[in-house]
């Protein structure tokens, strides 16, 4: 087996999208970090508004002795096919095991 490098075949070096774009906010590690950054805050507000508009769930008073289902935020950068930044995406997912 001949490796690419030994055969003189190298992959073309591609510039990273971050080098050609304006500053991209990093993916936050906590809700507190996300709320400080206006890009991630806007993505979270959009997700929350979509959940309310689609009537995904109803907020009801907690019954005594019932467990509360908790959730968490997941943040990602959505990119176009060419690798440039498309938008900031925030999702609220439930932890169904609780």
Domain ranges within the chain, ordered by starting residue? 25-57+66-98
**Is the pLDDT at 90 greater than 90, yes or no?**
yes
pLDDT in tens, 22-31: 788 899 999 9
Q: Which of 53, 91, 98, 47 is nearest to 73 (CA)?
A: 91
Q: Would you state the pLDDT for residue 12?
A: 60
Q: Is 56's pLDDT higher than 90?
A: no
Percent of the chain past pLDDT 70, that is, above it, reads 82
Provide the β-strand partners of residue 73. 92
Residue 11 and residue 16: Cα distance in Å, rounded?
Answer: 14
């Amino acid at each position: 087996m001949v490796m690419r490098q030994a055969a003189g075949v190298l992959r073309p070096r591609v510039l990273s999208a971050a080098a050609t774009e304006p500053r991209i906010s990093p993916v936050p590690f906590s809700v507190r970090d996300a709320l400080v950054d206006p890009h991630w805050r806007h993505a979270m507000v959009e997700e929350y508004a979509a959940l309310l508009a689609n009537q995904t769930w109803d907020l009801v008073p907690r019954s005594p002795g019932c467990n509360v289902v908790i959730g968490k935020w997941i943040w990602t950068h959505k990119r176009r096919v060419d690798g440039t930044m498309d938008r900031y995406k925030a999702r609220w997912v439930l932890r169904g095991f609780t």
